[in-house]
């Protein structure tokens, strides 16, 4: 827009110029809510646009806007044809048609009086849409050569031109480095650690992303095969001596219970006895243990036992994981717990050494673990089961026993790994298989090869069969809390000093040697507790920010 010689802007089409002080002001019909004689400067001057009467639009001798100038031109301020009306103006020159709204348009479905001219179709009654014709998943109307597949994650970088910082770790990275690499030990720590409840448990028993990942890094940090340096957790929990031999426990025993139910228990039945006494003394409200699946014989599932009877009914070992720490949401157990605030609930947790490492690390930080948070805080007693490795359920029970050795799940009464053998008993407690455990290597969880924690360094109590005779359990008391549990149980136990401590030390040494051969990273109890994902990639290989690449 340019200025004329007088310094005024060029006039807009159809808008009267501002008059000089000695010229009469041009009046615009007032709105219904403005005073008729308000001075010009008191209110804004509206710009009006009127539509011509269609009946006279093409009257002879009349020029259209934009086709000429001078007499006969209809404009917003004057009319010389005498056939156009201005809304709100009456008198000579006004036609008989009703005024039209400023800027309006004639509706296509209404008559001159404003009545709608439409027909409605009555809805069908008693019928439904035919969905049998054709494939409901078929995409129709897609032009040839058009790909409607969802673009990969890399499209985000193309749109935003922003790269994800290397120190922001996502579940996708845990999935690639641990789960997808067949290194997951099914402890469930990642599920418990997630502050947005974004990680669940899939049908295959492995961690699975169930909603958007926030990239908080906690699932990676606390994974015993990912970001957590588990040997550092040993020293944090139990001190410098906790990384040599069998550790430096408070005391050790060979023990068993003298009850009839011990026959169905693993070895001496000590774990069941300890938990039962903790319940009776009011030390705990329940114990998170393993039970047998209703659908799959010898498949372990998490179970909260709240009575002696439930503990006895579920005595024994299953040799496959339950994702125990993924089942610490107390809401799922609320029907079995006292009617109290969850923050007042106390639990015991029985698990493999890696599961105890996970819960100990989680409890060291006052972060919010969402649905699992109260369960994490509720665990006050931990019992580790001596463990060199665990098994994949389908591969052990389905392939190795049922298919290769014709031992069907329903025939099995008890499983045991003892003296380097896999032993299978029937329901009459008769031995039906004793074979070197190495023959079942293909069914083991590959992540177990990297574990050097045979005796559960982070637990309050460790219980197993190595170091004691038949029907006795070896018991290692590591903490004051463990000592409290032992003292409650001891009057009902038959026990003596640990029979063969060297046997435990030798197996612990063998387990550590296996771990050193499998670990791609340095074994360093003095290094930081958490391993950066970028460091892991340098040692194990992989991709930084794999979510940024198409897959």
What's the rounded mean pLDDT across residues 218-234?
A: 96
Q: State mean pLDDT over 409-419.
A: 90
What's the average model confidence in pLDDT over 398-403?
96
Structure tokens at 238: 């139990």
Tell whether the model's pLDDT for residue 70 goes beyond 90: no
- Which is it for the CA torsion 218, 221, 222, 223, positive or negative? positive
pLDDT for residue 264 is more than 90: no
**Quick one: tokens of 456?**
């559960």
CATH tag for 241-390+445-520 (out of 3.40.50, 3.40.1350, 3.40.109, 3.40.640): 3.40.640
Q: What is the pLDDT of residues 488-547, one digit of tens each?
A: 999 999 999 999 999 999 999 999 999 999 999 999 999 999 999 999 999 999 888 765
pLDDT at 447 over 90: yes
Tell me the pLDDT band of 263, cut-offs 50, 70 and 90. Answer: low
Q: Answer yes or no: are the C-beta atoms of 357 and 458 closer than 8 Å.
A: yes
Q: Are 409 and 297 in contact (CB under 8 A)?
A: yes
Residue 304 CB-half CA count within 13 A: 24
Confidence of residue 453 (pLDDT cuts 50, 70, 90): very high
Give Cβ neighbours of residue 91 (< 8 Å, ≥ 6 apart). none
Helix, strand, or coil (residue 304): strand
Q: Could you tell me which of 105, 59, 114 has the C-alpha nearest to residue 82?
A: 59
Find tokens 């010009």 and name the residue.
Answer: 40
- CA dihedral of 347, 353, 354, 358, whole degrees rounded to 10: 40
The pLDDT score that the predictor gives to residue 108 is 67
The candidate with the shortest Cα–Cα distance to 183, out of 450, 544, 501, is: 450
**Full DSSP string of 145-186:** T---PPP-THHHHHHH--PPPTT---HHHHIIIIITTT----
pLDDT band at 239 (very low <50, low <70, confident <90, very high): confident
pLDDT of 57 reads 47
C-alpha atoms less than 13 angstroms from C-alpha of 227 in its C-beta half-sphere: 24
pLDDT band at residue 33 under the 50/70/90 scheme: low
Who wins on pLDDT, 15 or 508? 508
pLDDT tens by residue, 126-142: 766 665 666 655 666 66
Please give the residue that has the higher pLDDT: either 240 or 48. Answer: 240
Q: Choose between 282 and 133: higher pLDDT.
A: 282
Q: What is the mean pLDDT of residues 327-345?
A: 96
Q: Which of 93-102, 182-191, 214-223, 475-484 has the lowest mean pLDDT?
A: 93-102
**Residue 61's pLDDT band (boundaries 50, 70, 90)?**
very low
Greater pLDDT, 2 or 390: 390
Residue 330 pLDDT grade (very low, low, confident, very high; cuts 50, 70, 90): very high
| pLDDT over 70 percentage in the chain | 69
Averaged pLDDT, 92-113: 57
**In degrees, to the nearest 5, what angle opens at C-alpha 488 toward C-alphas 456 and 312?**
75
**What CA–CA distance (Å, rounded) separates 313 from 291?**
9
Structure tokens at 128: 């439904």
Over 90: is that where the pLDDT of 338 sits? yes
**Least confident interval from 60-64, 157-161, 168-172:** 60-64
Q: Give, in order, the Cα–Cα distances in Å from 27 to each of 89, 238, 273.
A: 12, 93, 101
**pLDDT on residue 260:** 64
Query: What are the pLDDT digits (tens) for 295-316?
Result: 999 999 999 999 999 999 998 8
Domain layout of the chain by residue ranges: 153-228+530-551, 241-390+445-520
Indicate the average pLDDT of the chain.
81
* Arch. (CATH architecture) of 153-228+530-551: 2-Layer Sandwich (3.30)
pLDDT value at 94 more than 50: no
Q: SS3 for 397-460, per residue? A: HHHHHHHHHCCCHHHCCEEEEECCEEEEECCCCCEEEEEEHHHHHHHECHHHHHCCCCCCCCCC
259-270 in b/e burial notation, b at 16+ Cβ within 10 A? Answer: eebbebbbbbbb
Tell me the pLDDT tens digit for each residue of 424-436: 999 998 999 999 9
Mean pLDDT of the 56-72 span = 46
Concatenated DSSP letters of 242-274: GGSTT---SEEEEEEE-SGGGGGSSTT-HHHHH
């Amino acid at each position: 827009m340019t200025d004329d010689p007088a310094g005024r802007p060029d006039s807009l089409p159809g808008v009267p110029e501002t008059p000089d002080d000695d010229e009469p002001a041009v009046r615009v019909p007032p709105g219904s809510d403005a005073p008729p004689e308000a001075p010009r400067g008191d209110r804004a001057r509206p710009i009006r646009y009127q539509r011509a009467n269609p009946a006279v639009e093409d009257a002879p001798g009349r020029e259209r806007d934009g086709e000429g100038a001078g007499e006969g031109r209809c404009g917003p301020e004057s009319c010389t044809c005498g056939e156009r009306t201005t809304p709100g103006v009456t008198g000579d020159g006004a036609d008989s048609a009703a005024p039209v709204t400023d800027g309006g348009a004639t509706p296509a479905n209404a008559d001159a009086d404003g009545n709608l001219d439409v027909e409605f179709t009555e809805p069908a009654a008693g019928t439904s849409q035919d969905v049998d014709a054709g494939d409901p998943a078929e995409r129709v109307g897609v032009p040839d050569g058009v790909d409607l597949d969802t673009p990969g994650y890399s499209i985000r970088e193309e749109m935003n031109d922003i790269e994800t910082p290397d120190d922001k770790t996502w579940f996708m990275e845990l999935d690639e480095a641990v789960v997808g690499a067949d290194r997951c030990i099914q402890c469930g720590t990642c599920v418990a650690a997630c502050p947005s409840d974004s990680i669940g448990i899939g049908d295959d028993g492995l961690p699975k992303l169930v909603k958007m990942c926030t990239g908080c890094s906690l699932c990676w940090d606390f994974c015993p095969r990912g970001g957590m340096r588990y040997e550092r957790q040993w020293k944090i929990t139990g001190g410098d001596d906790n990384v040599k031999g069998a550790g430096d426990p408070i005391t050790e025993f060979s023990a068993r219970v003298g009850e009839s139910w011990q026959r169905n228990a693993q070895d001496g039945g000590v774990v069941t006895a300890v938990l039962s006494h903790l319940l009776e003394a009011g030390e705990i409200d329940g114990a998170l243990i393993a039970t047998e699946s209703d659908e799959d014989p010898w498949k372990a599932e998490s179970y909260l036992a709240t009575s002696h009877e439930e503990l006895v009914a579920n005595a024994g070992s299953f040799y496959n994981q339950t994702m125990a720490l993924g089942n610490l949401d107390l809401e799922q157990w609320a029907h079995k717990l006292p009617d109290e605030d969850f923050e007042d609930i106390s639990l015991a947790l029985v698990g493999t050494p890696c599961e105890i490492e996970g819960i100990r690390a989680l409890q060291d930080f006052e972060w919010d673990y969402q649905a699992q948070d109260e369960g994490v805080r509720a665990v006050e007693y931990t019992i580790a089961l001596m463990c060199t490795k665990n098994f994949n359920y389908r591969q052990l029970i389905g392939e190795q026993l049922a298919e290769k050795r014709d031992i069907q799940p329903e025939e099995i009464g008890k499983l045991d790994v003892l003296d380097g053998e896999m032993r299978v008993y029937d329901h009459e407690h008769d031995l039906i298989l004793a074979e070197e455990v190495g023959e079942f290597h293909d069914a083991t969880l590959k992540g177990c090869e990297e574990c050097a924690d045979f005796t559960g360094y982070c637990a309050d109590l460790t219980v197993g069969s190595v170091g004691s005779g038949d029907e006795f359990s070896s018991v290692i008391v590591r903490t004051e809390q463990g000592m409290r549990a032992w003292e409650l149980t001891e009057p009902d136990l038959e026990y003596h000093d640990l029979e063969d401590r060297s046997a435990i030390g030798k197996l612990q040494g063998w387990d550590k040697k296996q771990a050193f051969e499998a670990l791609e990273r340095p074994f360093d109890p003095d290094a930081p507790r958490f391993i950066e994902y970028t460091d892991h990639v340098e040692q194990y290989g992989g991709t930084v920010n794999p979510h940024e690449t198409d897959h």
